[in-house]
Structures are given as C-alpha cells and as structure tokens.
Amino acid sequence: MTTTLQTTGTREIQFREAVNECLRQEMERDETVIIMGEEIAGGAGREDQGIEDAWGGPFRTTVGLIQQFGRDRVLDTPLSEAAFIGAAIGASSTGLRAVAELMFVDFIGVCMDQLVNNAAKMRYMFGGQVKVPFTMMTRIGAGFGAAAQHSESYYSIFSHIPGLKGVVPSDAYTAKGLLAACIRDDDPIVFFEHKGLYGSTSLVPEEPYVLPLGKARTVREGTDVTLVGISKMTWTANDAATELAKEGINCEVIDLLSVSPIDYDHINESVRRTHRLIVVDEDTPVCSMASEICSRVAEEVFDYLDAPPSRVTAPHTPVPYSRAMENEYMPNEIRVVNAVKKLLNR
C-alpha cells in the first residue's frame, strides 16, 4: 500500500488538516477572502448559547475558522446552493475572494446555472471587464457505502466548460498548495476533495506555499507504461506500479492534479518515453477525463505509441450502495495491474 506521494518536508499532517491550515493562512493573508457554505461552522445563530462552531464542516475541514475570523467572513448558509453559490460569484466579481463549499459534487444540479452561466462566462461576455476570483470547494469519491447521490466524481463536467478551471489534489501537500493557488487565482476554479483522502497524511510545510495550477507531477519514474492517476486514483495507480515492479514491469505514475487546464505536455513527454498510456479515473468512462486524455495523446504522440491509449475507469453506472456492488464499481489496483499486463502482452 502506498503510504505517501510526497517525499520532501519534515512535518506530516492529514489532508483535512492541510485544507484547514490553508484556509486559515489564506484568510490571515488576505482579508477579502471569505468562506461560505452549509455547516461551514455549524450552529449559526446560537451565539447567545455559547455555540460558535458546532462541528466545523461535516469533514472538519473548516473547524475553528469562525473563532478566528468571525461570522462576517465565515458564513453558514441556508440550504440554498443556487443563491449562495451565485452570491459568492457576485461577491467575487465586486471585490471579495469568495470560497464557497458545495458539500458534495452530486448536488451540483441545483446550482449549475450559476457556475456555468455566470461564473464561467461573465469575464468573457463582459469583454474582460471583470475578474471572478471564486473558488468552489466540493467533494468527490465513492467507496463509503454512500450510494449514488453522495459518491460521484463529476470533475469532467466542469473540465468541459470554458471559463472554469478544476483542481484534483491527491494528498495533503498538493491540497494545501493547490487550494492556496485557487484562492489567489483570478479565475473561477473548482477544488475537488476526495472523501477517501481526508485521513491520508503527507509531508507538508507549515508556512504558506503555492503550487502551480495546470501542472501535473510525476510521483514515480518508469520506462514501460505511463499511468495517469486522478485524485485518489493516483494512489491506486502507484499501488499497482508497486505490484508490477515485483514482476519487473516499471510503471511511470503521473498525478494529474489539474483537470482544467490539463498538463498534456507532461503526459506527452512521458508517453514518448514509455510508449504506452493508461488513465486511471474513478469517474464513469463516457466523455470522461480518461477519454479526453487518451484522445489528445492519440492525436499528438500517436507515432510514439506501441499500444492503444487505454482507460481504467468506473463502469457507466451510478454508484451502487451495497459493498458487494460498490467494490465491483471501483477501478482498483487489480484492474490497473491487469490492464498494464494486457497492454504489454504479459
């Protein structure tokens, strides 16, 4: 089992702590940064009973912020995603840097209009008159028995939309550095947190830092096949690579980190050396990040390929509830191992 993707630094913290630390540091750094969402603090309106912070978010990523920054900058919202996501976009276009949390990406349907027709298009429609430095934090990922409306990994939908950027951190280190980059960036961005990564730990500097947007990273060097992982699937790809190494197969593992823009240069460079590509994507396969990356690699480095660009994804089904079926749904290490062997005729 892969224990870490990040190998430099001195202090090990969890993904959830890294998100929290980043939000705290960015709000200290820039007083125009605000955060809003359902249960961001919890217990709103009960200050007279001594309640400040009922739980700090269902995954504790926003715990403690309200004590430090107050109710003007840490805003519990009613269950009104269209209004508060829209308001965050409006605030971001009039002088604030608003971060809004959509509790699970599955809920995007109720506020998609604000994201697509306002956030993504305002700058363009207005002829460049406005910047929309808006960050939407949301959660993805199956594997928890949460069934079809709390488990999807809908990043490709956002990647499809010109005007939006998208970030998929894979560990505490990339979560902290990329969230800071999102908040400081002047474009609207969706930051996808995989629920299965919150407890994962990695080495994370205490001081604030920013990782570049739109850049992938290589977490394992290899010569035989390039595995591109997205979010938690980077760990799965790396686990598969560890297994395959025992059989003398050297996989290169790339951590995508950004679903818009996509770092094709990084992927192409790797494929030119390994001549094979498999994208490991927890999302469903049709019109997915996996199909997009395979298509572009086929267009651009076809002559270097020794095998068809391939995908290991979830099936084209909703996420099922029962563990028996959910395990079958997940693109796991064994599926990746088998896919690599198939490409190598092993």
Closer Cβ to other proteins, 130 or 148, answer by number = 130
Q: φ and ψ at 157, to 5 degrees?
A: -60, -40
Among 26, 81, 101, 252, the one annotated catalytic: 81
Per-residue x/- track, 105-144, other proteins (CB under 8 A) = --------xx--xx---xxxxxxxxxx-------------
Cα 327 from chain centre = 22
Q: In whole angstroms, how close is the CB of 268 to other proteins at the nearest point?
A: 11
Q: According to the binding rule CB under 8 A, does residue 183 interact with other proteins?
A: no
In this structure, the number of other CB atoms found within 10 A of the CB of residue 201 comes to 18
Q: According to the binding rule CB under 8 A, does residue 208 interact with other proteins?
A: no
Closest to 75 measured CA to CA, from 107, 100, 92, 108: 100
Q: Report helix, strand or coil for 255.
A: strand
Q: Identify whether 150 is a catalytic site residue.
A: yes
Q: Report helix, strand or coil for 136.
A: strand
**Hey, what are 290's tokens?**
């996996």
Q: How far apart are the first and last CA of the chain?
A: 23
Q: How far apart are CA 267 and CA 240, in angstroms?
A: 19
Q: In whole angstroms, how close is the CB of 174 to other proteins at the nearest point?
A: 19
Q: In whole angstroms, how close is the CB of 110 to other proteins at the nearest point?
A: 8
Residue 184 β-bridge partners: none
Closer Cβ to other proteins, 50 or 127, answer by number = 127
Site for other proteins in 307-346 (CB under 8 A): none
Q: How far apart are CA 266 and CA 251, in angstroms?
A: 15
Q: Which of 11, 47, 83, 328 binds other proteins (CB under 8 A)?
A: 83
Q: Residues in contact with other proteins, total (CB under 8 A)? A: 53
Q: According to the binding rule CB under 8 A, does residue 90 interact with other proteins?
A: yes
Cβ-based neighbours of 128, under 8 Å, separated by 6 or more: none
Closest to 259 measured CA to CA, from 249, 250, 267, 271: 267
- Of 16-24, 183-191, 277-285, 331-339, which segment contacts other proteins by CB under 8 A? 183-191
Q: In whole angstroms, how close is the CB of 21 to other proteins at the nearest point?
A: 23
Q: How far apart are CA 218 and CA 213, in angstroms?
A: 15
Q: In whole angstroms, how close is the CB of 322 to other proteins at the nearest point?
A: 34
Among 52, 150, 193, 333, the one annotated catalytic: 150
Q: Identify whether 282 is a catalytic site residue.
A: no
Per-residue x/- track, 214-233, other proteins (CB under 8 A) = x-------------------
Closer Cβ to other proteins, 18 or 91, answer by number = 91
Q: Which of 96, 182, 251, 289 binds other proteins (CB under 8 A)?
A: 96
Q: Pairing state of beta strands 33-37 and 74-76?
A: parallel
Site for other proteins in 241-260 (CB under 8 A): 260
DSSP classification of residue 115: I
Q: Is the dihedral of CA 280, 283, 284, 286 positive or negative?
A: negative
Torsion region of 328: left, alpha or beta (phi above 0 gives left; psi -120 to 50 gives alpha): alpha
Q: According to the binding rule CB under 8 A, does residue 73 interact with other proteins?
A: yes
Q: Report helix, strand or coil for 95.
A: coil
Q: According to the binding rule CB under 8 A, does residue 300 interact with other proteins?
A: yes
Q: According to the binding rule CB under 8 A, does residue 261 interact with other proteins?
A: yes
- Residue showing tokens 């269902």: 58
Q: According to the binding rule CB under 8 A, does residue 32 interact with other proteins?
A: yes
**Binding stretches for other proteins (CB under 8 A):** 32, 34, 72-73, 75, 77-78, 80-96, 98, 113-114, 117-118, 122-131, 162-163, 165, 185-187, 214, 260-262, 264, 296, 299-300
Which residues are tagged catalytic? Answer: 81, 150
